Structure 1
Amino acid sequence: MALLDIFRRRPAVRDRDELADFIDRNAAFLIQKAIYEYSRARAGHYSKVLFKEPSFHAAVEVSRWRAYPLGLLMVTEVVYAVLCREGAHPAQDEFDGLESLVLSVFDRYPVPQALGPAEWEALRADLAQRLKQIALHPPKRAMDIPEPYAKPYFDLMPIHEKLRGRDLETTRNYLMVTLCNIHDELTKASGGLSFPALATAV
């Protein structure tokens, strides 16, 4: 990212397509940033060597695609909380609009070579099931969203489990801070966006 990008305004999130882009962009960022930074931290002085290894790149590909649905779920929980900001619980068809939107984001991507069709389809099915569960509870604070996701995400890091150390809490804190930032960004960018708007767009 160029230095001047820090000062550029984030795009508005006013309709279904812009929300899809927001979810995709932030889910990918949430997942990939920690994978690379954690790997670099654990490798220490050997990180430059590690990052040149084809086997490491292959492991990263597996990790990031397996973790991407978790990123989608966490960012969707943020969207759910922001769209419920006025205390109105969405009707089922309204939440279905958000669910179908998130699945359409997943479907933007062809089957990753690192996984294969069977695993990719299984990840989609699991994502669809977990999305339905979001509407079964009140919106969460952004800082509480990572609780059920942090351990599964940490377990997908492309570092051997014997070398990971006791870093689960660090990963959880990273997810908390990043999701709070995503919540703030969407709150500022999403004027006029609502659950009914998503439902009527399906």
Structure 2
Amino acid sequence: MLSWLRDRLRPLPSREPGELERFLDRQAAFVAQKTVIDYCRVKAGRNERQTFADPDFRAALNHCRWQTFAAAAGDVTALAEAWLRPHAPGAEAALARALAAMGGRILDAAEAPAEERPTLDAARDGLGRRLALLQESPPASADRLALEAESPLLATLPVHPDQRVGETPAIRGALRFHIVSTQQEMERAFDAPGLSRELRTHA
């Protein structure tokens, strides 16, 4: 009885492009922030409060978060493209254009500091080309999609490389875990055929 009631009360999967845009925006921010901050908290250990209060560390942390967010916005958009593409036979290019525009709006709306804006603008400008290149190969699932966030994450983490020797696989694993979780949430929250159709209609 309770299982039946839960099923009845569960919201129907959405096919609204606006809801997908808000979802991708939230997930890009979550992927960047969760991956970076969780790792830094583990490294700081008992010194977490002191470390996170240090102005230099906070500046480096914020830089890492914005650099990672710029790439993560493209990654979650690419993830959506791969998931929706099988539902857009013959209209793949229109789907890619709609999603590139969506990712661009997410990056444009981000309240980034002025010094971070060139990175977000470059990510926006390259998103259309990235999706077009991805469409030259079969769609990649979340566990296989090449993640552009990996490079800036590792390059800007506010922990010296000497202090994270051997930890790169764990950092990459955390990033991948959040991308896989994003796909799982997307599959639960959205109606892929209907959403693909709506995106192509308004491309």
TM-score bucket (shorter structure): 0.7 to 0.9
Rg: which structure is higher?
Answer: 2
Q: How does 1:107-186 map to 2 (within 5 A)?
A: 107-115=108-116, 117-146=117-146, 149-186=149-186
Determine the C-alpha separation between the residues in 1 that align with 2:162 and 2:177.
27
The answer as to whether partners of 2:28 and 2:69 remain within 8 angstroms in 1 is yes
**Structure-2 separation of matches of 1:11 and 1:31:** 28
Conserved? CA contact 1:27–1:72, under 8 Å:
yes
In 2, Cα distance between equivalents of 1:140 and 1:132: 14
Matches within 5 A, 1:32-181: 32-86=33-87, 88=89, 90-115=91-116, 117-146=117-146, 149-181=149-181
Distance 1:161 1:172 in 2: 14
Deviation, structure 1 residue 86: 4.7
Query: 2:7 maps to what in 1?
Result: none
Partner of 2:18: 17
Report the TM-score, using the length of structure 1 for normalisation: 0.82
Report the Cα distance in structure 2 between the residues aligned to 1:174 and 1:90, rounded to whole angstroms.
34
Structure number having the greater helix percentage:
2
Please report how far the alpha carbon of residue 125 of structure 1 lies from its aligned counterpart in structure 2 after TM superposition.
2.9
CA contact (8 A) 2:100 2:128 kept: yes
Shift in Å, 1:176? 2.3
TM-score normalised per structure 2: 0.81
Runs of 4+ in 1 over 6 A off after TM superposition: none
Q: Give the partner amino acid of 2:135.
A: A
Q: Distance in 1 between matches of 2:70 and 2:131?
A: 10
- AA aligned opposite 2:58: H
Unpaired segments ≥5 residues, structure 1: 1-8
Matching residue's letter, 2:121: E
Distance 2:119 2:176 in 1: 28
Percent identity over the alignment is: 25
CA shift for structure 1 position 119: 4.5
**Structure 1 residue 189 and structure 2 residue 189: aligned?**
yes
State how many pairs are aligned: 193
Hey, what's the Cα distance between the residues in 1 that align with 2:128 and 2:159?
A: 28
Mind listing any 5+ residue stretches in structure 2 that lack a counterpart? 1-9
Kept in 2, the 8 Å contact 1:66–1:123? The answer is no
**Following the alignment from structure 1 to structure 2, what is the Cα–Cα distance between the partners of residues 152 and 118?**
14
Q: CA distance change for structure 1 residues 101 and 123 in 2, over 3 Å: closer, same or farther?
A: closer
